[in-house]
Amino acid sequence: SELEKALTEETILVSIMFVNNEIGAVEDVKTLSEIVHSYNPKILFHVDAIQAYGKYHIVPKRLGIDLMSVSGHKLHGPKGVGFLYMRDKAKVRPLIYGGG
């Protein structure tokens, strides 16, 4: 597959859209995560689930998702907010400490 050809020893992150907002294409997230993790289990697999969240039953662990982003406005929340799901193995250091 094109994904397999694109993976290298230097790949640290693969990011895909679950559902494309322009043409509506729906990706087979589970198969893609299996390809990525079978190549190298240390590669983080990120899914942009902004269009899919609330319309598909998404269980990140079952789909092999390490990171998943969702926008609040798709859930009738305020614009400019969202959330990032992070699986335990995803060790991401903050860019900024503190706040509030």
Tens-digit pLDDT profile for residues 72-88: 887 888 888 999 999 98
* Helix, strand, or coil (residue 96): coil
- Measured between alpha carbons, how far is 40 from 99 in angstroms, rounded to an integer? 35
User: What letter would DSSP give residue 95?
Assistant: S
Tens-digit pLDDT profile for residues 21-46: 999 899 999 999 999 999 999 999 99
What are the structural domain ranges in the chain?
A: 2-86
Given a contact cutoff of 8 angstroms between Cβ atoms, the answer to whether 75 and 53 are in contact is yes
Q: β-pairing, 82-86 with 67-71?
A: antiparallel
Domain topology for 2-86: Aspartate Aminotransferase; domain 2 (3.40.640)
99: left (phi over 0), alpha (psi -120 to 50) or beta: left
pLDDT for position 64 = 97
